[in-house]
A and B are shown apart, each in its own frame.
Chain A
Amino acid sequence: QVQLVQSGAEVKKPGASVKVSCKASGYTFFGYHIHWVRQAPGQGLEWMGCINGDTGVTNPAQKFQGRVTMTRDTSIWSVYMELSSLTSDDTALYYCAREATRTFYMDVWGKGTTVTVSS
């Protein structure tokens, strides 16, 4: 069935970077965007940006510009989100979610990857 499989939990020190993966399963990679959305403990959802699965063009949220890098590997149907210069405020559950290109909604979500930033 159609699903997005995310990598496991990460623990990082302040100032480090983290790279989270999201693997598409059960559907063709092309024709879809992958969005990244995070949720801090007890807080709401926050859109971080997206990557075009066809072209690799990225569209980061203004808040994360210069600190987030989104890439894709079409040979293994995977997308990656790397966040640098981590602080404790980046402790959150990070989700990837699929959007059929230019439909403007996210119809399939991964289960999330917990990232903890602690010294």
Chain B
Amino acid sequence: QSALTQPPSVSGSPGQSVTVSCTGSSSDVGRYNFVSWYQQPPGAAPKLVIYEVSNRPSGVPDRFSGSKSGNTASLTISGLQAEDEANYYCTSYTSSNRYVFGTGTQVTVL
């Protein structure tokens, strides 16, 4: 199972919006609405920010949103803040009853 494809990096100024894409296939992202996103600041463990494509866990700011179209899922951070600077990973459940992570995207706040 190949990793889902994410851009290596995206950046934006405070207050702007950035979008991170996550491209898979018809066996994972395109087949199930079981895409989740994780935020990992340097030196820290991953933290869940989006589940089931577009749902936010309690405590996650509403500037984080998710969507999906075909085989590509997206994470959008609106009103970018300095504390959002981190690596972000998508993951999807797959047709082989397993999970696959994305390659990861570094979000930089300029």
Contact = CB atoms under 8 A, between A and B. Distances in A.
A103 B51 contact: yes
B104 A45 contact: yes
Contact of A62 (B1, B47, B52): B1
B101 A59 contact: no
Given A61-B98, A62-B1, A105-B36, A44 B51 contact: no
A110 B44 CA distance: 10
Interface stretch (B13-21, B68-76, B77-85, B89-97): B89-97
- Which size class do B's interface residues fall under? 20 to 34
A46 B99 contact: no
A46 B51 CA distance: 18
A112 B43 CA distance: 10
B80 to A, nearest CB: 22
B98 A62 contact: yes
Given A45-B104, A95-B46, A104 B3 contact: no
Contacts of B67: none
A12 interface: no
A89 interface: no
B88 to A, nearest CB: 11
A61 B97 CA distance: 9
B86 interface: no
B93 A104 contact: yes
